[in-house]
């Protein structure tokens, strides 16, 4: 699949394409030293193809372009 650079992303939870920055969130985890050790890109729940909540309520920010 060919994606539009900085316009579309693959969701790490459901595997579908996130069509627009406003539909996606970057979410990260911190390790015990409070360093960011992992991150995922997921759908906002209003854009989730399966209407599921893919985000935790912490450590997230809307995709910025």
Give the residues lining the site for Zn ion (CB under 5 A). 11, 13-14, 43, 54
Q: What is the DSSP letter of 29?
A: E
CA distances to 31, 33, 34, 35, 51 from 65, in Å: 27, 29, 26, 24, 25
* Residue with smallest beta-carbon separation from Zn ion: 11
Q: Shortest Cβ distance from residue 8 to Zn ion (Å)?
A: 12
Q: Shortest Cβ distance from residue 32 to Zn ion (Å)?
A: 28
CB-wise, 34 or 46, nearer to Zn ion? Answer: 46
Residues in the chain: 65
Rounded to whole angstroms, the Cα distance separating 38 from 21 reads 20
CB-wise, 4 or 35, nearer to Zn ion? Answer: 4
Q: Shortest Cβ distance from residue 15 to Zn ion (Å)?
A: 7
């Amino acid at each position: 699949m060919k994606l539009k650079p900085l316009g579309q992303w693959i969701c790490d939870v459901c595997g579908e394409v996130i069509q627009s920055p406003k539909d996606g969130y970057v979410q990260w985890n911190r390790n015990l030293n409070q360093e960011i050790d992992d991150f995922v890109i997921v759908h906002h729940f209003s854009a989730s193809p399966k209407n599921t909540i893919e985000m935790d309520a912490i450590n997230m920010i809307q995709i910025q372009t």
